[in-house]
Structure 1
Amino acid sequence: MTDSAIATPGRTGRIARRAIILAVLVAISLTMEISGFIATPAAEREEVSYTTIHAIVPIVFAVCAAVAWAIGPTPLPARLMAAIVVLWIPQPIYAVIGDIGWLWPIVRGIDLWWAVAAGILVLVYPRGWLADRADRIFVRIAYVATFVNLVAVLLLAGPGENTCDCVANPYRIADLPWLFDLIDNLYRFVGVTLLLIFAVRLLVRWVRGSVPARAVAFTMPVAILAWALAAAAETLSYAADTTSDLVIRTVSLLGIASIPVSFVAGISHTRALRARVADLMKITREGADRAVWAASLAETLRDDSVSVYWWDDERGRYYDAAGEPVDAGHADPRGSHSMLPVTAPSGAPIALIRHDRVLTDNMRLLDGVSSALRLSVDNGRLRSEVERTLEHVRQSRQRILEAGIEARRRIERNLHDGAQQRFVALGMHLRLAADRAAALGDADLAAELEGAIVQLSAGLKELRELAHGIHPSLLSQGGLALAVPELAGRCPVPVEVDVQAEGRLPEIVESTSYFVIAELLANIAKHSGATRAWVRAHVDDGRFEFSVRDNGSGGVSLEGGSGMVGLVDRVDAVDGTIELESPPGAGTTVVVRVPITASEREQQHV
């Protein structure tokens, strides 16, 4: 059983548990909303449209929580969103719980905790955690203010317009409405101030940020600014003991609902940015071409300021594209950029990537970039090694082929100058002996000598044919223009020949072409059932190209036998190509192209 198969049930269980939790929280929120609306007298109810939007806000947070749980960088954002769902307490709920003395003060003390959770959600965007010292200070201020407000509500709040028309507060220890109002308004003022600070900080970061920073910030500054301004207006109305305008409250709800949507959109954008690393690997899969790599990386990260510095093993330093040395500890004086070292699995340095500092919040993206660069360098190195190996193999095969040609030439020369000359001399002696025996009247001896001469002539003919097959003399003397027609003349199938070699070709090209044509003509004579064949050859754009065609039965393949495989190997040894077209019943055409370098042509002419 695979690891994925084992992990799937657990993941499914987590998804189910989270779905149940969110469903329960939404049910609690809607219950509070609906029960409060029903319990409120008709004359005092909010507009239905406002109540509907107010009820939709926690649903938006719940949906975004589910998404954030699935794709978020950490569980914290999703948990904050889920907490806001149940902390989103509507004001009409006091018409339901106002008669429960022990409950309404507690609810009154926590009915703005959702704002604290929403503020923290803004602060952890987009990293998923608090990474800034100032952010942690703001959170501590919010915690202290929230605790002080809760204590003030429990110990000082009484029934009234700024609290609720409820029964007496059993926790109240003093009747100091001015002190409670002061703390209550101060708490709201601190909250609005923090919201405005968050909004301004996000907006300034967005304006001053680089392209990656703006892309990651996305719509969050607009959402938090709309909420903060509307909250400020509502706070002023609350302090003045007046009802804020319905439009302002609606804008506030829309701004609040935009926060989780902006968060999810931002992390979705970040994930999409990580997915672009796959495109980066596709672009650079052939190897780490440095210019292409830097340009592709800048496009992937949406950061034109990206620079790549490559490690030089010989000089032991990093160098930029212009060849200038770069210190590995270099940091941008304004603190807007960071260095990402990329190393091989062995720990050996490969490169440094200078990128926008905002991308350090997305370590998964940077890890993907590092892996892509590492894999690209490895692919380039392996590709170079494979190409070198293939070149060595090709050169080795060519040397073997050239050695075979030289060996055939030497054997043919030895046969011609050695055994063949001896057989010719022996034939002359036998002829003289046969003539003398006939002159002396010894007919039997003369007949035996004549028989020996016939056998010797047959053996000499076979020897000459053998020598001719090892290295044809016509090929050595006149090239393919003479050797191919002679070769075609020995084929039992009529062959039409048109060879335009434009002079002599390199010896290895001529030899390879000759023996390939010989093997193809032999195959035509033995297997094709053809009545005609054609051989065409010419030089085209630095290549010697020839074709052998017949009108036989066809159905031939390059893997059809050892002979064809041998032809492929022979052509491949000289870096040539071979193409075969052989439809059943329509003949066979073989086209071979062998490269001819300028230096080889010059050497051959010399």
Structure 2
Amino acid sequence: MAPGRKGRIIRRTIVIALVVAASLTMEITGFIATPEALRREVSWTTLHTIVPLVFAACAGVAWAIGPSRLPARLMVVFPLVWIPLSFLRVIEHVAWLWPFVYGVHLWWAVLTGILVLLYPRGRLIDGVDRWIAGIALVTSVGYLLGVLLLGQPSPAVCDCTANPYLVADAPGVFAVIDVGYRLIGVLLAIVIAVRLLVRWVRGSVPARTVAFLMPIALIAWVITLATQAAAYASGGADLVLDTVSLVAIASIPVSFVAGIAHARNMRARVADLMRITREGADRGLWAESLARTLRDASVRVYWWDEERARYADASGEPLDDDTPAARRGDHGLLPVSSPTGMPIAVIRHDRVLTDNMRLLDGVSSALRLSVDNGRLRSEIERTLEQVRQSRSRILEAGDEARRRIERDLHDGAQQHLVSLGMRLRLAANQARDRGVEPLGVELDGTIMMLNQALKELRELAHGIHPSLLSSGGLALAVPELAGRCPVPVEIDVQPEGRLPEVVESTAYFVVSEALANVAKHAQATRGWVRAALVDGELELVVRDNGVGGASAEGSGMLGIADRVDAVGGRFRLDSEHGAGTTITVHIPLAGFAH
């Protein structure tokens, strides 16, 4: 936690603790100072004490997650003006103080009304809200002046000393001011409730989702407030209505905090968009997921079309700024661009979401990430395809080079050596016919060396590219290859007809390398080779009953894996100790010409 933030939390905690202590002091001392016969019920007093505590607790939450500091500050001030009338009995002999306390003991209602007007944006929306707040403040100040200049509480409230600020003893005029102030408060509360309710009913789904608790709490409070004002004017009181009123008042800060917490949680739901941005989701799916995340069915995503230089949605419908909703101002537009400033998209959303810029910033980042991921994924896939094609071309070129070398050795060097051998044989025979036996013996030795060199050359040419593979395919080449293996090998080759050259060449060299490993390392007594076409792929299996334990990191296995991967195939090695070794290869036929 940053030092500055830690300090702010400590200061706010101290402030809240002080106002809670002040509120509890007023409640407790007032209850004790009130004669037992005049005390309110303990349950009601307890509930009356809890109300400011709820405001103080919600102030701490609003400070942490609120859209602005003003709502939290109003909630902190509330416990200081939540003054029980019983507290006047504690200060009834302090002549200079009690008129001020009595003059502000209803200001909690003003703070509550302004708090409702601030919901959920944390600020007053329009001029009407400012007028309502202004009227409430002006009448409250007027009431305070009325108390200072004309007020004197009734004996039922306290035995207060004479008001030192009194300019005229006019209890009738003060009664009118007292009742009038309460009636104005009721009318303002009704106006606030009606505005909030109308705004909620006419609002969009996101607006109603954010403001889902406040109308209920406010309506309950207005009803009880109006009833209480009427009862006060007539001199009566009702415990049930008083209790309901306290519960309704306490529910207002809870509703405020719940609403802004809900809006904050909407930002957390943007994380759900990240799951579809990882793959660069389809545009239609992205818009649908965004509408579901924001709980706003009116959300539309218009993507930038470079060819037409305009924004259009996934279906091709262009962005129209002249729709009825746009003319009414019901929607806002959120442009999204790349870090380089290139336009990506425009998100048309409900106007209420404009007040939650952190949410929209998260949406913008998610969309930008989606586009970047899609672009990077396409580039990577394109690069990988180019690499695969390049490797395939290299492999094909290598095979073609081996075939050419084998053909050159067969048609060139081997033919010359065979011709040379025949001429040496003829020379040896002529030497013997002329009685030069030592020369014939020497030529015979030379012929033997030539035959050995010719044999090695044929084996070399066969290793470069076997002629049987070119002429007869795997059906002829694999059995011939297995016949040279010192370990008995059972062959089952079932490809139908000839396969693409690169596939046959890859399969042949896989079998060749695998059988070489069987002969050198497996300590096997038997081997099996099977080749068959399965679902458009050549499936090749080479198995032995040796000691197992072969490593995929060995040079031979790495060579097999690289060669198979170069043609887009799959390689698997199973080699448990004591259970032999099985190499399974799948090579797709699609994409290769015969």
TM-score between both structures, scaled by the size of structure 2: 0.97
Work out whether 1:238 is the aligned partner of 2:213.
no
What is the aligned counterpart of 2:184 among 168, 183, 190? Answer: 190
TM-superposition CA deviations, 1:130-158 (whole Å, max 9, x none): 23232222211122112111221122212
Displacement, 1:206? 1.9
What is the aligned counterpart of 1:65 among 53, 59, 63? Answer: 59
Match of 2:584 in 1: 591
Instruction: Tell me, yes or no, if the aligned pair for 1:159 and 1:167 is still in contact at 8 Å.
Output: no
Indicate the SS of the match to 1:325.
coil
Work out whether 1:343 is the aligned partner of 2:348.
no
Unmatched segments (≥5 aa) in structure 2: none
Match of 1:364 in 2: 358
Unmatched segments (≥5 aa) in structure 1: 1-6
In the alignment, the residues of structure 1 paired with residue 179 and residue 550 of structure 2 have an alpha-carbon distance, to the nearest angstrom, of: 94
Displacement, 1:17? 2.6
What is the aligned counterpart of 2:539 among 534, 537, 545? Answer: 545
Moved beyond 6 Å, runs of 4+: none
What is the aligned counterpart of 1:459 among 453, 462, 472? Answer: 453
Displacement, 1:590? 1.5
Match of 1:434 in 2: 428
Match of 1:495 in 2: 489
Displacement, 1:566? 2.2
Judging changes above 3 Å, is the alpha-carbon distance between structure 1 residues 189 and 163 closer, same or farther for their aligned structure 2 residues? farther
Displacement, 1:304? 1.2
Work out whether 1:581 is the aligned partner of 2:574.
yes
Instruction: Tell me, yes or no, if the aligned pair for 1:312 and 1:318 is still in contact at 8 Å.
Output: yes
In the alignment, the residues of structure 2 paired with residue 178 and residue 557 of structure 1 have an alpha-carbon distance, to the nearest angstrom, of: 104
What is the aligned counterpart of 1:405 among 399, 402, 410? Answer: 399
Match of 1:107 in 2: 101
Match of 2:521 in 1: 527
Query: What amino acid sits opposite 1:275 in the alignment?
Result: A
Indicate the SS of the match to 2:327.
coil
Query: What amino acid sits opposite 2:361 in the alignment?
Result: D
Instruction: Tell me, yes or no, if the aligned pair for 2:86 and 2:157 is still in contact at 8 Å.
Output: no
Indicate the SS of the match to 2:302.
strand
TM-superposition CA deviations, 1:162-221 (whole Å, max 9, x none): 974311111222223233222222222222112111111221222222221111011100
Indicate the SS of the match to 1:326.
coil
In the alignment, the residues of structure 2 paired with residue 137 and residue 496 of structure 1 have an alpha-carbon distance, to the nearest angstrom, of: 97
Instruction: Tell me, yes or no, if the aligned pair for 1:543 and 1:593 is still in contact at 8 Å.
Output: yes
Displacement, 1:398? 0.7
What is the aligned counterpart of 1:282 among 275, 278, 293? Answer: 275
Displacement, 1:325? 2.2
TM-superposition CA deviations, 1:11-43 (whole Å, max 9, x none): 333323322221221121111111111111111
Query: What amino acid sits opposite 1:41 in the alignment?
Result: P
Work out whether 1:133 is the aligned partner of 2:159.
no
TM-superposition CA deviations, 1:248-297 (whole Å, max 9, x none): 11111111111111111111211221111001111232004101101100
Query: What amino acid sits opposite 1:230 in the alignment?
Result: T
Match of 2:258 in 1: 265
What is the aligned counterpart of 1:301 among 283, 294, 301? Answer: 294
Instruction: Tell me, yes or no, if the aligned pair for 2:148 and 2:166 is still in contact at 8 Å.
Output: yes
Match of 2:218 in 1: 224
TM-score between both structures, scaled by the size of structure 1: 0.95
Instruction: Tell me, yes or no, if the aligned pair for 1:549 and 1:587 is still in contact at 8 Å.
Output: yes
In the alignment, the residues of structure 2 paired with residue 215 and residue 468 of structure 1 have an alpha-carbon distance, to the nearest angstrom, of: 78
In the alignment, the residues of structure 2 paired with residue 582 and residue 420 of structure 1 have an alpha-carbon distance, to the nearest angstrom, of: 41
In the alignment, the residues of structure 1 paired with residue 355 and residue 519 of structure 2 have an alpha-carbon distance, to the nearest angstrom, of: 75
The CA RMSD measured in Å over matched residues stands at 1.6
Indicate the SS of the match to 1:304.
coil
Query: What amino acid sits opposite 1:157 in the alignment?
Result: G
Displacement, 1:69? 1.8
What is the aligned counterpart of 1:480 among 474, 477, 494? Answer: 474
Displacement, 1:448? 0.9
Instruction: Tell me, yes or no, if the aligned pair for 1:554 and 1:585 is still in contact at 8 Å.
Output: yes
Judging changes above 3 Å, is the alpha-carbon distance between structure 1 residues 344 and 133 closer, same or farther for their aligned structure 2 residues? farther
Match of 2:510 in 1: 516
TM-superposition CA deviations, 1:429-452 (whole Å, max 9, x none): 111111111111111111111111
In the alignment, the residues of structure 2 paired with residue 554 and residue 210 of structure 1 have an alpha-carbon distance, to the nearest angstrom, of: 69
Match of 1:4 in 2: none
Judging changes above 3 Å, is the alpha-carbon distance between structure 1 residues 369 and 98 closer, same or farther for their aligned structure 2 residues? same
Query: What amino acid sits opposite 1:77 in the alignment?
Result: P
Judging changes above 3 Å, is the alpha-carbon distance between structure 1 residues 493 and 328 closer, same or farther for their aligned structure 2 residues? farther
Percent identity over paired residues: 66
Aligned length: 593
Indicate the SS of the match to 2:349.
strand
